[in-house]
Amino acid sequence: MSAVLELDGLCAGYGPMQVVHDVDLAVRPGERIGLLGLNGHGKTTLMRSVLGLVDWRRGDVRLDGGSLMRAGPHQVARRGVVLIPQGDAIFPGLSVRDNLDSGAYMSGSWRRRDERRERVLGIFPQLADRLGQTAGTLSGGERRMVAIGRGLMADGSVYLVDEPSLGLAPGLAQRMIDAVLSLELGAGALILAEQNRALFEGRVDRVIRLHGGRVAT
Amino acid sequence: MTIVVTTIVLASIYSLVAIGISLTWAGLGFLNLAHGVIFAVAGYGAWLTAEHLSEGPVAVILAGMLVGALAGVFVCVVVFLPLDGRPNAEIRTLMGTLALSFLGVNLLQEIFGPQPKALPSIFEWGNFEIGNAVVTADRSGAVVTAVAVLSLVVFALLRSRVGLGVRVLTQDPEGAALVGVNRRTTALAILAVSGALAGLASVLLAQVFYVSPEAGYTPLVKGLIVAMLGGLGSVPGTIAAAVLVAACEALTSTYLGGQYVLITLFVLIAVVLLIRPRGLGGLLETARA
């Protein structure tokens, strides 16, 4: 079975510092992968390097067999890689509705944005009353819902979700994880980065541990 | 009443110039000092059309907007696209547009000579009076056209997909890339629309003044002031700032005399920016986290 996303000897870093060392990974269609690692061990850099959002990278990243090494971040996004970044990656000055709709910016999803927004509101019902509100004025938990919701608006194939639980109370954190894991992947795949194994224990197909920027065995 | 009318007329023209500067600056981190020369070039485009093709009002206005849009795209292709993403892109693009601005003005001087050119009058529905103020056709026409075109632009910005792309870019360039916004094609769209708006402003202003190589300098300075005062990237803020600046000018020239306009204007800017360092936009668009 061929892989959706393949990392081949991927190294990446910022300036003189190398953060990710020789990571090999083949993600199969439909697979949910838990990426486990402590703070500062390269989870975020690994995810960002798939889109080229690092100073430099070496090795190869392939999506459905095609290399992504020469594509800019927006081109990778257009090919179906959805990164839900760490922290509150929202557009603070725009309304909640605009934030969600921006996730469907790709022309294919844009036409179906109403239907997709309904689906996100089904997952996070409390956003429904806040569609017109400026996203920067939301509470921390609601912002995270917007950030995740934005990712769910796209017709993605590979979802990279970076610590959706970060800084949230346990109950809320679990809801975010549930929302992410409830995604129907089809032939796509999901990589979920977390520090706390208990949050996704038993609900992902395999767990990969990242230690010092390398895949630990 | 005259003051109110003057304010509205000036405000509509300043808004046209400043929204382009504001969106380019906020969306792309690109301060376009060639905006003034785009203004002048568009004026000549309209003049050439009137001389050689048609004096019809629609033709002249569209020619100004089209030439303005093309000039905007030219600036984007020549200065912004090659430098974007390079080290110190902000200062390098700034210098690039400054160079282009000097080059452009001198080139216009060389081709058309220093003699100002007059455009045919576009609006011919006569004058009317509001209270004690006489509103000439060119003034009412300028307001109507500016408001119509601005509403169209604001509508597109708020409702269309590309408009959302532009707004997303003003918020967070990286987030914009993550949702698939192409910064370079969006830059072309922003500069084309900015140029078209400057071109429209140029044609409208040429109803009162003339088209000349340096015609763009004053609009550029006023546009920069309004854009800054309005809070970069905020369309409602920019329009509010345009009204404020226009009112300040109209009041000063009526009660103190035209030579004091720049002084009161800078006092106004200082006061507003002391109270709201991010400009008026912050008043109207609540909290940017």
C-alpha B110/C-alpha B126 separation (Å) is 37
- Range(s) of the domain holding residue A203: 1-73+158-166+185-217
Whether residue A63 is contained in a domain is answered as yes
Residue B173's closest chain A neighbor by CA? A91
Q: CA A74: distance to chain centroid?
A: 14
Whether residue A173 is contained in a domain is answered as no
CATH code for the domain of A24:
3.40.50.300
**Same domain for A49 and A96?**
no
Report the pLDDT value the prediction gives residue B283, as an integer from 0 to 100.
52
Residue with tokens 């194939």: A157
Contacts of B165 in chain A (CB under 8 A): 102, 105
**Same domain for A200 and A133?**
no
**Same domain for A58 and A162?**
yes
pLDDT in tens, A102-146: 999 987 788 888 999 999 999 999 999 999 998 888 888 899 999
Report the pLDDT value the prediction gives residue A111, as an integer from 0 to 100.
87
Between residues B129 and B166, the one the model is more confident about = B166
Is B168's CB within 8 Å of A94's CB?
A: yes
ipTM of the complex: 0.86
Whether residue A174 is contained in a domain is answered as no
Is B181's CB within 8 Å of A105's CB?
A: yes
Is A91's CB within 8 Å of B175's CB?
A: yes
**Same domain for A68 and A1?**
yes
Beta carbons within 10 angstroms of residue B4's beta carbon: 13
Contacts of A86 in chain B (CB under 8 A): none
- Which residues of chain A from 157 to 176 reach within 8 Å of chain B, CB to CB? none
- Compare CB distances from B181 to A51, A74, A94 and report the shortest one's residue: A74
**Same domain for A69 and A2?**
yes
Count A/B contacts: CB-CB distance under 8 Å: 81
Q: What is the count of structural domains for chain A?
A: 2
Whether residue A55 is contained in a domain is answered as yes
Whether residue A143 is contained in a domain is answered as yes
Is B289's CB within 8 Å of A107's CB?
A: no
Query: In the beta sheet, which residues pair with residue A60?
Result: A8
Is A105's CB within 8 Å of B182's CB?
A: no
Report the pLDDT value the prediction gives residue A1, as an integer from 0 to 100.
53
Contacts of B288 in chain A (CB under 8 A): 92-93, 136
Report the pLDDT value the prediction gives residue B286, as an integer from 0 to 100.
45
Whether residue A216 is contained in a domain is answered as yes
**Same domain for A57 and A7?**
yes
pLDDT in tens, B11-57: 999 999 999 999 998 888 888 999 999 999 999 999 999 888 888 88
**Beta carbons within 8 Å of A197's beta carbon, 6+ residues apart:** A34, A36, A207
Whether residue A177 is contained in a domain is answered as no
Whether residue A208 is contained in a domain is answered as yes
- Which of B171, B179, B182, B186 has the most A C-beta neighbours within 10 Å, making it the best mutation to test the interface with A? B179
Report the pLDDT value the prediction gives residue B45, as an integer from 0 to 100.
92
**Same domain for A135 and A191?**
no
C-alpha B62/C-alpha B203 separation (Å) is 9
Give yes or no for residue B288 having a pLDDT over 60. Answer: no
Does B172 reach chain A within 8 Å, measured CB to CB? yes
Which pTM was predicted? Answer: 0.86
**Same domain for A111 and A50?**
no
**Same domain for A19 and A56?**
yes
**Same domain for A148 and A93?**
yes
Does A191 reach chain B within 8 Å, measured CB to CB? no
**Same domain for A23 and A62?**
yes
**Same domain for A60 and A110?**
no
Burial class (CB in 10 A: 0-12, 13-18, 19+), A27: buried
Burial class (CB in 10 A: 0-12, 13-18, 19+), B172: middle
Domain boundary among A107, A134, A155: A155
Please name the CATH architecture into which domain B2-284 falls: Orthogonal Bundle (1.10)
Angle at A28 between CA A178 and CA A76, to 5 degrees: 80
